[in-house]
Amino acid sequence: MKEKMTIIFFSGTMDKAIAMLILVTTAAAMDMEVSVFATFWGLSLLKRGRKFRKKNIMQKMLEFMVPGSRNDLPLSGLNMMGMGPLMMKKLMGKTKTPSIDELMKMARELKVKFYACSTSCGIMGIDRDNMIDEVDGVIGAAAFIAEARESKINLFI
Q: Please report whether residue 6 resides in a domain.
A: no
Q: Which pLDDT belongs to residue 41?
A: 94
> What's the confidence (pLDDT) of residue 137?
97
Would 7 be classed as within a structural domain?
no
Q: Model-level pTM? A: 0.88
- Domain count within the chain: 1
Most confident of 23-27, 50-54, 70-74: 23-27
The arithmetic mean of pLDDT across residues 51-71, rounded, is: 83
Residue 62 lies in a domain: yes
H-helix or E-strand spanning residue 116 = strand 113-117
- Cα dihedral 24, 122, 61, 38 in deg (nearest 10): -10
Task: Tell me the pLDDT tens digit for each residue of 64-119.
Answer: 788 888 888 888 877 777 788 888 889 999 999 999 999 999 999 999 999 999 99
pLDDT of residue 79: 74
Burial of 3 (0-12, 13-18, 19+ CB in 10 A): middle
Q: Is residue 10 part of a domain?
A: no
pLDDT of residue 64: 78
The CA dihedral of 91, 105, 33, 139, to the nearest 10 degrees, is 110
pLDDT score, position 61: 85
Contact status, residue 116 vs residue 131, Cβ threshold 8 Å: yes
